[in-house]
Amino acid sequence: MTEVKKIPLNKDTIVPFIEDIFLRRGSDSYLGEEVTMSEHMLQGALLAEKAGADEELVAAALLHDIGHYTSEFPEDALENGINNHHDEAGASVLSQFFPRRVVDCVRYHVDAKRYLCAVDPGYFDRLSDASIHTLNLQGGPMSEIEVIGFRALEYCEDVIQVRIWDEEGKVKGVITPEFSYYVPLLQRVIDRSCDGQD
Ligand code: FE
């Protein structure tokens, strides 16, 4: 395996850092699906773009599974240690640079699957075999109490939308832009977020 780049993460290095992960690790298989990790995440971003989503949601769709690569991040990039589930871990590494709306879409994208399975019987039928398998590991469909809690999330609708693109972005052979196409978009999202905090 190629050596991991050791660079300090800040708002100017985080996008090249993530791009490097995509380039080196993107060909990893995606949990039993017929697409690779990078194909899956790039398909999510393309679906968001085609739907006319704003830049934050395109970024969320593109990065929703970045938590599978947290071993690539320096340990201090993880607020809660490295043994988190990939949704929490991804949110943790992104939270220092991206707006909360993006972070929450990443943080709750697994919960959104559990939510949709609880409230939409047709949704479960559309899940891939691999996604059904992980659903069971993730706790199965939400309980009524969990559904109420999920509906109260500030970005509930955005989280659900990103989840739908996640589910749809598993089609073998779809042509998407390269990661580099999304670099300026990601940087704009980060710059707006970081500038807003000054
Ligand atoms: Fe995914």
Estimate to the nearest angstrom the gap between the alpha carbon of 157 and the chain centroid. Answer: 15
CA of 198 to the centre of ligand 1 (A): 32
pLDDT along the chain (198 residues), means of 10: 66 94 88 89 98 98 90 64 68 92 95 95 88 86 97 98 95 95 98 79
Q: Give the pLDDT score at 151.
A: 98
Q: Which amino acid type is present at position 189?
A: V
CA–CA dist 114, 27 (Å, integer):
27
**How many whole angstroms from 22 Cα to the centroid of ligand 1?**
14
Per-residue pLDDT at 1: 47
What homologous superfamily is domain 14-188 in, according to CATH?
Hypothetical protein af1432 (1.10.3210.10)
Centroid of ligand 1 to alpha carbon of 41 (angstroms)? 7
Task: Give the whole-angstrom CA distance, residue 47 versus residue 4.
Answer: 30
**Residue 18 · residue 66 · CB < 8 Å:** yes
Could you tell me the distance, in angstroms and rounded to a whole number, from the CA of residue 66 to the centre of ligand 1? 9
pTM: 0.90
Alpha helices in the chain (DSSP H): 14-25, 37-50, 55-63, 86-94, 100-107, 109-119, 121-126, 129-137, 144-151, 156-168, 179-197
Centre of ligand 1 to C-alpha 44, Å, is: 8
Look at residue 74 in the predicted model and tell me its pLDDT: 73
Instruction: Sketch the domain layout of the chain as residue ranges.
Output: 14-188
pLDDT of residue 71: 76
